[in-house]
Amino acid sequence: MVTSHEHGLAPAESAAGSRRRARLLCASVVLATVTALASGPVHAEPQKAAAMVDPNTPNGVRPVGGSPHATLVFSDEFYGAALDTSKWTAKDEERSDGSYFRDWWKPANVRVNPNPQQINGGNLWINLSQLATDQYATGEIESRGKFDHTYGTVEWRAQMPPTEDHFGALWLQPTNGISTVDGTARDGGEYDVVESYYQGDRYANTIHYDGYGADHKVSTATINAPNLHTGYHTYAMEWTPTSIKYRYDGGVIRTITDPNLISQVPQFPVISHEAGAWVDGAIANAPMGWRSNMYVDYIRIWQ
């Protein structure tokens, strides 16, 4: 117990004075709490993350294939007329890798179709567009600075674009980056749940850690994914302090138990449509318009 002397109160202080101090202390705590919430991302504690759950998400919905995580802390069904900027930022960034074409992430390539009655309506659309000769744009959204979580199950339902030097990716990034070199991903890693850069029915599932320079390390697997480029599929990452399970349409396709590959720090979700000369196919063969779009039906995260 802390005595009044330890709080700096005189033994003879009146009851009214004590009440005034209590009110001031309470006000200070409220102000500090509001300031803390306004100055950084919402961490996925259920009492703080309620505002990050889309009211259009069905009540009681659970991950496809199951999960030990039961509390929905973040979701976006991508209804409405515009991207929810309380959850997402659309990047404006050049992505060129010095190859035979240049490419950018552009906010204009990211939109939400507001009509759920249309084909692919009520979904996130990220398109491929041609800006000029040998210049292309796609798009990326991320919750950096707005939401992150440590452990939980994240699930996306998405339709990957056809692979012609461009592909779809669903991934997590650590809030504080991966620049620290310690030989592990425990201090944060780039977790590429899916990168659909093959033309066949398979995709890459990869963990990057220890930065992107000379110390960069990687753990990767190629996942067989029947009908990958046909219609929508669910992709999930079930993350606990001691294991990671990846799922495709509910089935477990990779399990990680090596403690050096399991992040122990906050990560945030990313959705991207990317171009790259190292990807299967040729961008000159990619149709512009809806046939090259990446579509995302929803993202949901449970803890």
pTM of the model: 0.84
| Statement to judge: residues 25 and 113 lie in one domain | no
Q: Which residue has the tokens 């990446």?
A: 294
Radius of gyration of the chain (CA): 23
| Statement to judge: residues 169 and 252 lie in one domain | yes
| Statement to judge: residues 48 and 189 lie in one domain | yes
| Statement to judge: residues 72 and 163 lie in one domain | yes
pLDDT per residue over 72-95, tens digit each? 999 999 998 899 999 999 999 998
| Statement to judge: residues 180 and 284 lie in one domain | yes
| Statement to judge: residues 26 and 156 lie in one domain | no
| Statement to judge: residues 22 and 91 lie in one domain | no
The number of distinct structural domains making up the chain is 2
| Statement to judge: residues 17 and 95 lie in one domain | no
pLDDT per residue over 94-150, tens digit each? 987 667 899 999 999 999 987 777 777 789 999 999 999 999 999 999 999 999 999
| Statement to judge: residues 206 and 293 lie in one domain | yes
Using pLDDT thresholds of 50, 70 and 90, give the confidence band for residue 28: very low
Q: What is the CATH number of the domain that holds 74?
A: 2.60.120.200
What is the domain range of residue 194?
Answer: 42-302
| Statement to judge: residues 95 and 4 lie in one domain | no
